[in-house]
Amino acid sequence: MIRKFEAPEAAGSYDRYELKLCKQVSALTKEWVDALLFVNYHTKLTEKDGKQKAVGGRERLIYTTHTAAWDAKNRYGLDEKLPCVIASLAPIFARAAAPITPASSPTISAPVAVAHAAPTPRPGPVLLITRDQVEKLDALWHALNKTHEDRAKAFAWLRCDSIDFAWDELTSDQAEKLIAKLQEQMAKVGNGGAK
Protein backbone atom coordinates (compact mmCIF):
# COMPACT_ATOMS: atom_id res chain seq x y z
CA MET A 1 0.00 0.00 0.00
CA ILE A 2 1.08 3.59 -0.46
CA ARG A 3 1.37 5.57 2.77
CA LYS A 4 2.40 9.17 3.43
CA PHE A 5 5.65 9.34 5.38
CA GLU A 6 7.05 12.30 7.24
CA ALA A 7 10.75 11.97 8.07
CA PRO A 8 11.87 13.92 11.15
CA GLU A 9 14.90 15.42 9.37
CA ALA A 10 13.08 16.23 6.11
CA ALA A 11 11.27 19.48 5.41
CA GLY A 12 8.23 17.75 3.93
CA SER A 13 6.45 14.45 3.58
CA TYR A 14 6.47 11.94 0.75
CA ASP A 15 4.67 8.78 -0.32
CA ARG A 16 6.24 5.36 0.08
CA TYR A 17 5.26 1.73 -0.51
CA GLU A 18 4.73 -0.32 2.66
CA LEU A 19 3.39 -3.72 3.62
CA LYS A 20 -0.39 -3.67 3.94
CA LEU A 21 -0.30 -4.69 7.61
CA CYS A 22 -0.78 -2.87 10.91
CA LYS A 23 2.41 -1.19 12.16
CA GLN A 24 3.20 -3.80 14.82
CA VAL A 25 2.76 -6.81 12.51
CA SER A 26 4.62 -5.05 9.70
CA ALA A 27 7.59 -4.31 11.98
CA LEU A 28 7.73 -7.89 13.30
CA THR A 29 7.45 -9.36 9.80
CA LYS A 30 10.22 -7.15 8.41
CA GLU A 31 12.46 -8.09 11.33
CA TRP A 32 11.74 -11.84 11.05
CA VAL A 33 12.11 -12.49 7.31
CA ASP A 34 15.44 -13.15 5.61
CA ALA A 35 14.31 -11.50 2.38
CA LEU A 36 11.77 -8.75 1.84
CA LEU A 37 11.74 -8.07 -1.89
CA PHE A 38 9.99 -5.21 -3.69
CA VAL A 39 8.94 -5.75 -7.32
CA ASN A 40 8.02 -2.81 -9.55
CA TYR A 41 8.18 -1.69 -13.13
CA HIS A 42 11.41 0.06 -14.07
CA THR A 43 10.73 3.58 -15.30
CA LYS A 44 13.22 6.19 -16.46
CA LEU A 45 12.83 9.94 -16.29
CA THR A 46 13.67 11.93 -19.41
CA GLU A 47 13.65 15.66 -19.79
CA LYS A 48 12.06 17.29 -22.80
CA ASP A 49 11.44 21.02 -23.14
CA GLY A 50 12.34 21.54 -19.48
CA LYS A 51 9.73 19.00 -18.29
CA GLN A 52 10.41 15.55 -16.88
CA LYS A 53 8.52 12.61 -18.31
CA ALA A 54 8.48 8.97 -17.21
CA VAL A 55 9.18 6.43 -19.94
CA GLY A 56 9.42 2.66 -19.89
CA GLY A 57 7.36 0.74 -17.41
CA ARG A 58 7.47 -2.58 -19.28
CA GLU A 59 10.41 -4.27 -17.59
CA ARG A 60 9.91 -5.44 -14.00
CA LEU A 61 12.76 -5.44 -11.51
CA ILE A 62 13.22 -6.97 -8.07
CA TYR A 63 14.65 -4.49 -5.56
CA THR A 64 16.48 -6.05 -2.60
CA THR A 65 17.55 -3.04 -0.51
CA HIS A 66 15.67 -0.40 1.47
CA THR A 67 15.11 3.05 -0.02
CA ALA A 68 13.00 6.05 0.94
CA ALA A 69 10.33 4.85 -1.49
CA TRP A 70 9.94 1.22 -0.28
CA ASP A 71 10.96 -1.35 2.31
CA ALA A 72 13.24 -4.16 1.17
CA LYS A 73 16.10 -6.20 2.60
CA ASN A 74 17.95 -9.45 2.03
CA ARG A 75 20.37 -11.56 4.02
CA TYR A 76 21.59 -13.47 0.99
CA GLY A 77 24.01 -10.96 -0.53
CA LEU A 78 21.82 -10.35 -3.59
CA ASP A 79 22.47 -7.39 -5.90
CA GLU A 80 20.37 -4.25 -5.35
CA LYS A 81 18.39 -4.72 -8.59
CA LEU A 82 17.61 -8.05 -10.23
CA PRO A 83 15.64 -8.97 -13.34
CA CYS A 84 12.20 -10.27 -12.40
CA VAL A 85 12.86 -13.94 -13.23
CA ILE A 86 13.02 -16.92 -10.86
CA ALA A 87 16.68 -17.57 -11.73
CA SER A 88 17.56 -14.27 -10.01
CA LEU A 89 16.48 -15.81 -6.71
CA ALA A 90 18.39 -19.09 -7.18
CA PRO A 91 20.83 -18.33 -4.31
CA ILE A 92 17.91 -18.20 -1.87
CA PHE A 93 16.48 -21.53 -3.00
CA ALA A 94 19.90 -23.16 -3.21
CA ARG A 95 20.49 -22.29 0.45
CA ALA A 96 17.03 -23.56 1.46
CA ALA A 97 17.55 -26.85 -0.40
CA ALA A 98 21.02 -27.51 1.07
CA PRO A 99 21.07 -30.28 3.68
CA ILE A 100 21.48 -28.99 7.23
CA THR A 101 24.17 -30.59 9.31
CA PRO A 102 25.00 -29.63 12.91
CA ALA A 103 28.28 -28.03 11.79
CA SER A 104 26.70 -25.99 8.98
CA SER A 105 23.40 -25.18 10.67
CA PRO A 106 22.59 -21.59 9.68
CA THR A 107 21.22 -19.05 12.08
CA ILE A 108 18.27 -16.94 11.03
CA SER A 109 20.12 -13.65 11.22
CA ALA A 110 23.45 -14.72 9.71
CA PRO A 111 24.19 -12.97 6.41
CA VAL A 112 25.36 -15.23 3.62
CA ALA A 113 27.83 -14.16 0.97
CA VAL A 114 26.61 -15.49 -2.35
CA ALA A 115 28.63 -15.61 -5.52
CA HIS A 116 26.59 -15.48 -8.69
CA ALA A 117 25.80 -19.17 -8.82
CA ALA A 118 24.40 -20.96 -11.81
CA PRO A 119 20.66 -21.48 -11.52
CA THR A 120 19.78 -24.69 -9.75
CA PRO A 121 17.90 -27.28 -11.80
CA ARG A 122 14.17 -27.39 -11.23
CA PRO A 123 13.12 -30.24 -8.99
CA GLY A 124 10.57 -32.75 -10.24
CA PRO A 125 7.01 -32.68 -9.01
CA VAL A 126 6.49 -33.42 -5.32
CA LEU A 127 4.26 -36.45 -4.95
CA LEU A 128 1.92 -36.52 -1.98
CA ILE A 129 1.63 -39.45 0.37
CA THR A 130 -0.63 -42.24 -0.89
CA ARG A 131 -3.42 -44.03 0.96
CA ASP A 132 -1.35 -47.23 0.86
CA GLN A 133 1.56 -45.46 2.54
CA VAL A 134 -0.71 -44.03 5.27
CA GLU A 135 -2.07 -47.52 6.00
CA LYS A 136 1.48 -48.99 6.14
CA LEU A 137 2.63 -46.21 8.48
CA ASP A 138 -0.37 -46.69 10.77
CA ALA A 139 0.13 -50.46 10.92
CA LEU A 140 3.87 -50.19 11.63
CA TRP A 141 3.34 -47.38 14.14
CA HIS A 142 0.84 -49.41 16.17
CA ALA A 143 2.86 -52.62 15.91
CA LEU A 144 5.90 -50.83 17.36
CA ASN A 145 3.82 -49.09 20.10
CA LYS A 146 5.10 -45.67 19.04
CA THR A 147 3.89 -42.53 20.87
CA HIS A 148 3.03 -38.99 19.82
CA GLU A 149 6.51 -37.91 20.98
CA ASP A 150 8.01 -40.56 18.69
CA ARG A 151 5.98 -39.13 15.82
CA ALA A 152 7.35 -35.63 16.55
CA LYS A 153 10.88 -37.08 16.44
CA ALA A 154 10.11 -38.87 13.16
CA PHE A 155 8.88 -35.62 11.56
CA ALA A 156 12.03 -33.83 12.77
CA TRP A 157 14.17 -36.66 11.32
CA LEU A 158 12.35 -36.23 7.99
CA ARG A 159 12.84 -32.43 8.22
CA CYS A 160 9.10 -31.92 7.90
CA ASP A 161 7.72 -28.85 9.67
CA SER A 162 4.38 -29.70 11.21
CA ILE A 163 2.10 -28.67 14.02
CA ASP A 164 -0.07 -31.77 14.42
CA PHE A 165 2.23 -34.42 12.82
CA ALA A 166 -0.42 -35.85 10.50
CA TRP A 167 0.71 -38.44 7.94
CA ASP A 168 -0.96 -36.50 5.12
CA GLU A 169 1.59 -33.72 5.58
CA LEU A 170 4.36 -36.00 4.31
CA THR A 171 5.47 -36.37 0.73
CA SER A 172 5.58 -39.79 -0.89
CA ASP A 173 9.40 -39.83 -0.62
CA GLN A 174 9.31 -38.93 3.08
CA ALA A 175 6.71 -41.64 3.71
CA GLU A 176 8.84 -44.27 1.93
CA LYS A 177 11.88 -43.25 3.97
CA LEU A 178 9.93 -43.55 7.23
CA ILE A 179 8.33 -46.85 6.22
CA ALA A 180 11.79 -48.30 5.49
CA LYS A 181 13.05 -47.11 8.89
CA LEU A 182 10.04 -48.60 10.70
CA GLN A 183 10.36 -51.88 8.81
CA GLU A 184 14.01 -52.01 9.86
CA GLN A 185 12.91 -51.53 13.50
CA MET A 186 10.27 -54.27 13.09
CA ALA A 187 12.94 -56.64 11.81
CA LYS A 188 15.07 -55.92 14.90
CA VAL A 189 12.09 -56.51 17.19
CA GLY A 190 11.25 -59.73 15.33
CA ASN A 191 14.82 -60.94 15.89
CA GLY A 192 14.63 -60.22 19.61
CA GLY A 193 16.52 -56.92 19.40
CA ALA A 194 15.63 -53.67 21.11
CA LYS A 195 13.28 -51.15 19.53
Asked whether residue 118 is domain-assigned, the answer is no
Beta bridge mates, 44: 55
Q: Is 116 a domain residue?
A: no
Specify whether 43 is located in the same domain as 136.
no
Asked if residue 78 is part of any domain, the answer here is yes
- Within a domain: residue 113? no
Element (H, E) at 116: none
Of 126, 158, 151, which Cα lies nearest the Cα of 137?
A: 151
* Domain shared by 93 and 139, yes or no: no
Using alpha carbons only, give the angle 136, 138, 144 rounded to the nearest 5 degrees: 100
Residue type, 189: V
91 and 140 within one domain = no
Give me the pLDDT at residue 114, please.
47
Instruction: Give the C-alpha separation, 86 to 62, whole Å.
Output: 10
Q: Is residue 69 in some structural domain? A: yes
Q: Are residues 142 and 181 in the same domain?
A: yes
In a domain, 195, yes or no: no
Residues 87 and 161 in one domain: no
Identify whether 125 is part of a domain.
no
Domain count across the chain: 2
CA–CA dist 75, 72 (Å, integer): 11
**In this structure, are 98 and 139 located in the same domain?**
no
Neighbours of 89 (CB within 10 A): 19
pLDDT attached to residue 78: 86
Q: Are residues 55 and 148 in the same domain?
A: no
User: Do 99 and 154 have their domain in common?
Assistant: no
| Residue 67 and residue 151 in one domain | no
Q: Which domain holds residue 87?
A: 2-104
Same domain, residue pair 75 and 153? no
pLDDT confidence of residue 191: 67
Distance CA 21, CA 1 (A): 9
Query: Is residue 167 situated within a structural domain?
Result: yes
pLDDT by residue for the chain (195 residues), tens only, comes to 888 888 777 677 888 888 898 888 888 888 888 889 999 888 777 888 888 887 777 788 999 988 888 889 988 888 898 888 888 888 777 765 555 555 544 444 444 444 444 554 545 555 778 889 999 999 999 999 998 888 888 888 888 776 677 888 788 888 899 999 999 999 988 766 544
